[in-house]
Amino acid sequence: MNTINKADLYQKILNQHFGNDVRLSDTSSITGGCINESIKLDTNQGSFFIKHNNEMPLSFFEAERKGLELLKKNSSFTVPNVLALGEEERFSYLILEYVESKRSTENYWKDLGEKLAEMHQVSSVEFGLDSDNYIGKLPQSNTTTKEWLPFFIHERLLPQVHLGIKNGFLSSSYIDKIERLSDQLKGYFPIEQPSFLHGDLWSGNTMVGSQGEPCLIDPAIYFGHRESELAFTTMFGGFDESFFHAYYDVFPWEEGIKERLKVYNLYPLLVHLNLFGRGYLSEIEDVLNVIDKF
């Protein structure tokens, strides 16, 4: 599909959802994502943000719509409004309001930490969600359970291990290694109520909003252990220390969290193994070796 055809297709999509008075004037690619093609659409009625994917079904963007809407409902973060979604010719797509990113405020990281701590106090009676969704482009099962450890093993780790075996990245021995965690990690995680989580909270899924405030995008929501979200923020860095201090002041964590974070990050490490290849295998093995010494 060449550039001219894409512009014509974007125009058709805009007219379908917003009427024939909307006229496309320019398009520009948005960098930073690795799953979808992301485009800013400039029109005579303002700018729109469209992301589309020629491999994923419409349910992929339906899950993102639900995630964004629940993120907006359950937090005080700025979250882009969902304007439309659908399928057209070769791809499925999602249209969001375009958030014009400005310079961050002086209290940006403090605000991010406080708002996340407040969001994590939104709770549920079970871990999981009433529907499945995606993390990156991988399916994420959210079958609900009463306890965190069974959920962590059966809804997070084992599905990724089975996928890793299918992809040729892991041997079948990893099934036994993960199943043994039921005994090895018994009593290891602090007992807490399930918290509403963004689910994929690395620095690339945060942005500065139009007023310099924290804005969250690309969620993989569910109710989980809040420490797993904090672990995710440490995996690739990029979060200022003031973020963690502000979070702790609002919603303190229990002692020993530093070591627990490595265990929680088994999940995103397995996800990245399946998305990007064997480069993450040594880190996975390091964590499992540490657990074997418990």
Q: Could you say which of 200, 218, 240, 292 is catalytic?
A: 200
Architecture field, domain 3-97: 2-Layer Sandwich (3.30)
Identify the band that residue 1 occupies on the pLDDT scale cut at 50, 70 and 90.
very low
pLDDT, tens only, 79-104: 999 999 999 878 999 999 999 999 99
pLDDT, tens only, 223-266: 999 999 999 999 999 999 999 999 999 999 999 999 999 999 99
pLDDT of amino acid 88? 87
Cβ atoms within 10 A of the Cβ of 168, count? 8
**Average pLDDT in the 209-232 region?**
98
pLDDT of amino acid 247? 99
pLDDT at 3 over 60: no
pLDDT at 58 over 70: yes
pLDDT, tens only, 266-293: 999 999 999 999 999 999 999 999 999 8
What pTM, to 2 d.p., does this model score? 0.95
pLDDT of amino acid 32? 67
Task: Give CA–CA dist 269/272, Å, rounded.
Answer: 5
Secondary structure of residue 54 in the 3-state scheme: coil
User: What are the sequence ranges of the domains in the chain?
Assistant: 3-97, 108-292
Of the candidates 56, 85, 48, 75, which has an alpha carbon nearest to the alpha carbon of residue 219? 75
Same fold, 3-97 and 108-292: no
Helix axes 266-276, 257-264, angle to 10 degrees: 30
The C-alpha torsion from 17 through 42 and 60 to 123, rounded to 10°, is: -100
The topology (CATH level 3) of 108-292 is Aminoglycoside 3'-phosphotransferase; Chain: A, domain 2 (3.90.1200)
**Annotated catalytic, 26?**
no
**Average pLDDT in the 183-203 region?**
97
Cβ atoms within 10 A of the Cβ of 270, count? 26
Token pair recorded at residue 120: 């994590």
pLDDT at 2 over 70: no
Task: Give CA–CA dist 205/209, Å, rounded.
Answer: 12
pLDDT, tens only, 127-183: 999 999 999 999 999 999 999 999 999 999 999 999 999 999 999 999 999 999 999
**Average pLDDT in the 16-21 region?**
96
The mean of the pLDDT values for the chain is: 96
